[in-house]
Amino acid sequence: MTDRESAGGIIVGVDGSHGSDMAVRWAAREAAMRKATLTLVHMLHFPSEGWGSWGVTTAPLPEDFAVWQEEEGRRVIADARRVATEAVSEVTIRGEITHSRPASTLIDLSKDAQMVVVGCRGQGAVKRVLLGSVSTALVHRAHCPVAIIHDEFTDAPGSNAPVLVGIDGSRASELATSIAFDEASWRGVELVALHAWSDGDWGQYPRIDWSDVMAKAEATLTERLGAWQERYPDVVVRRIVVLDQPARHLLEESESSQLVVVGSHGRGGLADAVLGSVSTAVAHGSHTPVIVARQG
């Protein structure tokens, strides 16, 4: 195990939506595996421009709007706490209500967290809190790993499906590999390590022996995984090397995985693979939970 277990806890943004509930269930189990505190955060945002800034009406906000929002926030936290305890009975849970914007709040909290978990979609109109824009902001600006849980995620605890990690040899990829080995070990499942060798237009290289490229890439991938496999002898690793389109291959493999881990940026390492450019596509395109490896 890594020193992330003793770091800050798991932060999950909640808004009472179905997607939020799925994120809470996943985050509760993640916190239990890491023996970490689960913090449920609900953000209240009062638009100074009135209802019009939310696209509802140009009328001014009612005088008791703040009171209603506070009461609604407490209800959302209470419901989320119930969802978390139904998923995992033994986990320490904290609730927090803030008066701030969702993305900036979660990014700030990520400075002291092990991981931030967010649903990819939220409710609309007045109750809108967690949107795609929030998950996108976290993927690009958070100071810790970010887990994206989609509305379409099927809650299936105890699954034997593997953990999938995309590897390109960059610093972000190393962090992703570390997280993926932890997750596979905690869950007692196989780890699938996928490396996509890709550098643009294949027409630029008409004389390259692609079988030789593949052999070298597979050998380099094996070498890079060697130290990790020594550290995690309990994790069985299956290696996959493909020639191009990292996002497509990761999304295809994700359909038979229980978790995907990708780096947040970078280029280099294994034959100049490009993974950072596809992390957003994978995070938003996969129905499987995705952890984007980030660090401050």
Show the tokens assigned to 165: 């990690």
The answer to the question of residue 22 being in a domain is: yes
pLDDT of the residue at 268: 41
pLDDT band at 275 (very low <50, low <70, confident <90, very high): very low
Residue 272 scores a pLDDT above 80: no
Residue 156 scores a pLDDT above 90: no
The answer to the question of residue 222 being in a domain is: yes
**Which residues form the domain of 208?**
163-293
**Least confident window among 23-32, 143-152, 184-193:** 143-152
Residue ending a domain, among 149, 184, 213, is 149
Render 216-263 in DSSP notation, one character per residue.
Answer: HHHHHHHHHHHHHHHH-TT--EEEEEESS-HHHHHHHHHTT-SEEEEE
pLDDT of the residue at 291: 96
pLDDT of the residue at 147: 96
pLDDT of the residue at 155: 66
- pTM of the shown model: 0.83
Q: Is 191 helix (H, G, I), strand (E, B) or coil?
A: strand
Residue 152 scores a pLDDT above 50: yes
Residue 296 scores a pLDDT above 80: no
Show the tokens assigned to 45: 């945002």
Q: How far apart are CA 46 and CA 101, in angstroms?
A: 9
- Whether residues 16 and 83 fall in one domain: yes
**Cβ neighbours of 99 (radius 10 Å):** 13
Q: How many residues does the chain have?
A: 296
pLDDT of the residue at 108: 95
The answer to the question of residue 157 being in a domain is: no
- Whether residues 126 and 178 fall in one domain: no
pLDDT of the residue at 182: 97
Residue ending a domain, among 88, 114, 149, is 149
Alpha helices in the chain (DSSP H): 18-34, 65-87, 102-109, 132-141, 171-187, 210-231, 246-254, 276-285
Show the tokens assigned to 190: 């196989």
Number of domains within the chain:
2
pLDDT of the residue at 262: 93
Q: How far apart are CA 65 and CA 89, in angstroms?
A: 35
Mean pLDDT over residues 47-62, rounded?
A: 51
Using alpha carbons, select from 8, 234, 24 the residue that is nearest to residue 113: 8
Q: How far apart are CA 225 and CA 42, in angstroms?
A: 39
Mean pLDDT over residues 64-80, rounded?
A: 88
The answer to the question of residue 50 being in a domain is: yes
- Whether residues 140 and 198 fall in one domain: no
Q: How far apart are CA 163 and CA 32, in angstroms?
A: 18
**Least confident window among 74-78, 156-160, 239-243, 275-279:** 275-279
pLDDT of the residue at 47: 54
50: left (phi over 0), alpha (psi -120 to 50) or beta: left
**Least confident window among 16-30, 36-50, 162-176, 267-281:** 267-281
**Exposure pattern of 187-213 as b/e (b: 16+ CB <10 Å)?**
bebbbbbbbbbbeeeeeeeeeeeeeee
Return the higher-pLDDT residue of 20 and 271. Answer: 20
The answer to the question of residue 156 being in a domain is: no
The domain that holds 283 is classified in CATH as: 3.40.50.12370
Contact 269, 177 (CB under 8 A): no
pLDDT of the residue at 260: 97
pLDDT of the residue at 244: 75
Mean pLDDT over residues 242-267, rounded?
A: 85
- Whether residues 114 and 175 fall in one domain: no
- Whether residues 187 and 137 fall in one domain: no
